[in-house]
A and B are shown apart, each in its own frame.
Chain A
Amino acid sequence: MRPNRKWFIRMLRASLGKRKGRVFVAALSVAIASSVIVGALGLSLGIRQKLGGELKAYGSNAIASKPGGYIEESALGALSGAKGVEEYGGQLYASVTVRGVEAELMGVDASKRYGWKIKGAMPKEGEALIGTDLAEALDKSLVDITISTGGREASLRVSGFVESGGVEDRAVIVGLKDAQRITGLGGMLSAVLIRARADGLDDVVKEVAALLPGAEAKTLRQVAYAEETFLGKVELLMLLVSIVVVIASGISVSSTMSATVLERIKEIGLMKALGGTMGMIRSFYLAEGALIGLLGGAGGYLLGFASAQAVSRGAFGSFISVPLYLIAISVVAGLVIAVMASGLPMRPALRQRPSAILRGE
């Protein structure tokens, strides 16, 4: 075997070294296929997380409240460690009267964005945001209002008007601290709105209920259901697109590889004439294909990683996490494509007699 191995390595070096242009073309085409596979798979795997971030704009997907009572604000700290909980915020609601009109007082975290249309600004301490319907009923040029609830009264400056298309349009919205002060319910919350990861939401809801003693936690089906349906469809779309991309580029690369191999049928005839066995010749070509595949696969991973990042940066403005095991997939895909594409066209030539090949038949 020893002289054989020497021969083998020499042939490989000569073959790869003297035909740099062709080896480069073959490796490049394998790299393109691998990069497409890595890019498409990386995007399909990361799309849920990326789009999930965008779907946050639709609002909370779970809510916790205590039937007939209040949740203590101090208990919320436990939620920050809960798995799957991305964001949470407490709110306090109370019925109030403003100039004889019944309205709802909502105490919210005024530093957050809610997707409402606001004319003016979110309320600071001592200020209130007025729902447009309520404002229309009272006076559109409100500056100060006095609200009363349960025998208490409070004066607030109007910071702006809000149109949401929901209950907020008939509400007086203030900062949470103000709401607690006005109602005399210091440290109390009516509800905790939770934004949790879309997958495994049911488990998160159970965990939240366990962390807030006495509270009931529920999935807000509007957001949860639509999110699941939508994300599922997008994932399916990406997966199908990936499959199409992988098949198309796989076939395209195979034909490139086959084209580079076709010209070498004469070489096989010569090797056979010089006494090469079928096994030797086959392993020589396989080794050559494997080297090209390895090179192309590794290069393809880098290329695919870069293109997935470029697409993610462009579409979502942030990088996507491409799982590391895609390196392995990329290299294996490169190897399989290269070995198959260079091995298969060889088979008929291997079986032919060398004299026939060399004569050009």
Chain B
Amino acid sequence: MLLSLLKHSFFRQKRAMALMIVSVAMGTALTASLMALSMDIKGKVSKELRSFGANITVTPKVEGLAGMVGQKRYLSESDLIKIKTIFWRHNIVGLAPFLEAEAELGSDGTKRSVQAVGTWFRRELPLPGESADFEAGVMTVSPWWLLDGTAPGGQGVVLGSSLANELRLKAGDSLTIDDRPFTVSGILSTGGKEERQVFMDLHEMQALKGLEGKVSMALVSALTTPMDEFAYKDPATMSKKEYEKWYCTGYVTSIAKQVEEAVGGSRAKPIWHIAEAEGKVLGRMSLLIYLLSGAALSASALGVSTTMIAGLLRRTDEIGLMKAVGAVGAQITGIFLSEALIIGAIGGISGYLASLWVVKYVGLRVFGTGLESRALLLPVSLLIALIISVLGSFLPIRRALGIKPALVLKGAR
């Protein structure tokens, strides 16, 4: 009996049922998409925020007066690759070494003292034990550097724009640095101190200054977990268990600590204002998406309920007839609940499928990579669809039970 009634509902009233299913599917698709987005938002936004540049500096350790006056200290270039072997190695997304020294720049017969910097602009580093190379260089830690021309390499050097303006040099011109001939390969604009410096390949600089294998500092860009109250505790005062927890969480401080341990004789420090701002923005963004998802969920729940109510309201006659021929409350409830469950199931599954497409498209357009769509979302969206459609029919069913068949069949409502 129930089966044949259901069959009748779905096949004889295709249009009305289709409308309800579409409504449930749309609500579910919206909710599932936003849930997928909120699950992935922290990782994605944190990656985007790396465009603000490096968040860890690595410098030679300063110990007492000797560190600041007298002989300059250096880090070893070959140690830097070890940064990609720490516990949080997959979170290291950028790395660039710098060797800075005063040098004598000669052009047009005049000489002046400038700050010369040896670095990599872009360089593929082979990683021990891994097939993919690691892309390192200035462009991975300071993506805002605007280079007009080509990166330094061999005899090519890049001039900061202020320096180039003063010396009236442009790409292709030749000059000397410490009496060796070089050619200008590009002009660099940053808005900062780099505009007064001259950049060359790291190895060229090391050869020029007789500092083979040495660097004076490195910048690291790492994906981090935002600092919370626990993270601000001084690691020195932590208990062993706390220390372990701190060490194994991707805070900027614990990643810096691991970098420091990997690079001999170094001191690694967070760039605090970057780390702090990142935590703030990340918190705000994820909160925004959570709230948005909540709002969308309630809106689509309401929307689906109104569809279900509207769908049942038009069947008052039918219910009156059922009652007139002797159906009891439980039977009527059973019929409409099973209808709601079927609508919820079909709508939920199609809504989930639609959300897969939405999530992929939005991820590709905004972040360049698809958002991770999780299998967990299928049961969750199915459940949401079922709950929404059953809750949506609750009110109309209660009304239906109160219907007086005689009145309804007479046409009074």
Contact = CB atoms under 8 A, between A and B. Distances in A.
Contact of B144 (A26, A226, A315): A226
Contacts of B16: 259, 262
B367 A233 contact: yes
B52 A58 contact: yes
Given A32-B306, A226-B51, A262-B15, A165 B314 contact: no
A57 B276 contact: yes
Interface in A225-269: 225-226, 229-230, 233-234, 236-237, 240-241, 244-245, 247-249, 251-253, 255-260, 262-263
B141 to A, nearest CB: 11
A274 interface: no
Interface residues of A, number: 78
Given A58-B277, A236-B365, A136 B30 contact: no
Given A39-B295, A315-B288, A25 B310 contact: yes
B365 A311 contact: no
A77 to B, nearest CB: 25
A180 interface: no
A54 B276 CA distance: 11
A196 interface: no
A51 B284 contact: yes
B23 A252 contact: yes
B213 interface: no
A164 B314 CA distance: 68
A354 B298 CA distance: 42
A165 B271 contact: yes
Interface string A271-290: 00000000000000000000
Given A58-B273, A222-B53, A240-B362, A29 B189 contact: no
Contacts, number: 227
A315 to B, nearest CB: 4
Contacts of B272: 115-117, 163-165
A166 B219 CA distance: 11
A291 interface: no
B195 to A, nearest CB: 8
B191 A259 contact: no
A244 B191 contact: no
B48 A233 contact: yes
A43 interface: yes
Interface string B288-331: 10011001100110111011011101100000000000000000
A100 B69 contact: yes
Contacts of B391: none
A166 B23 CA distance: 55
A222 B358 CA distance: 33
Q: Majority SS of interface residues in chain A? A: helix
Nearest to A257: B310
A166 B276 CA distance: 14
Contacts of B281: 51, 54-55, 57, 230
Contacts of A259: 16, 19-20, 307, 310-311, 314
Interface in B1-40: 15-16, 19-20, 22-23, 26-27, 29-30, 33-34, 37
Contacts of B303: 29, 32-33, 249, 252-253, 256
A10 interface: no
B22 A58 contact: no
Interface stretch (B56-64, B110-118, B124-132): B56-64
B52 A35 contact: no
A165 B56 contact: yes
B287 A221 contact: no
A224 B296 contact: no
B271 A233 contact: no
B291 A315 contact: yes
A7 interface: no
Contact of A248 (B30, B277, B280, B361): B30
Contacts of A192: none
Contacts of A26: 306, 310
Interface in A27-77: 28-29, 32-33, 35-36, 39, 43, 47, 51, 54-55, 57-59, 62-63
A54 B226 CA distance: 15
A57 B271 CA distance: 13
Contact of B22 (A21, A225, A241, A251): A251
Contact of A133 (B26, B53, B56, B62): B62
Nearest to B281: A54
A117 B276 CA distance: 10
A215 interface: no
Contacts of A224: 144, 191
Given A28-B306, A221-B192, 5 more contacts: A57-B281, A136-B63, A136-B64, A249-B299, A255-B23
11 contacts: A25-B306, A116-B272, A170-B68, A221-B146, A221-B190, A229-B48, A245-B296, A249-B30, A255-B19, A259-B19, A315-B291
Interface of A: 21-22, 25-26, 28-29, 32-33, 35-36, 39, 43, 47, 51, 54-55, 57-59, 62-63, 100-102, 114-117, 133-134, 136-138, 163-166, 169-170, 218-226, 229-230, 233-234, 236-237, 240-241, 244-245, 247-249, 251-253, 255-260, 262-263, 307, 310-311, 314-316
The 10 closest A-B pairs by CB, nearest first: A115-B273, A57-B277, A165-B271, A263-B314, A225-B144, A255-B19, A29-B306, A315-B288, A137-B68, A259-B310
Interface of B: 15-16, 19-20, 22-23, 26-27, 29-30, 33-34, 37, 48-49, 51-53, 55-57, 59, 62-65, 67-69, 142-146, 189-192, 267, 269-274, 276-277, 280-281, 284-285, 287-288, 291-292, 295-296, 299-300, 302-304, 306-307, 309-311, 313-314, 358, 361-362, 365-367
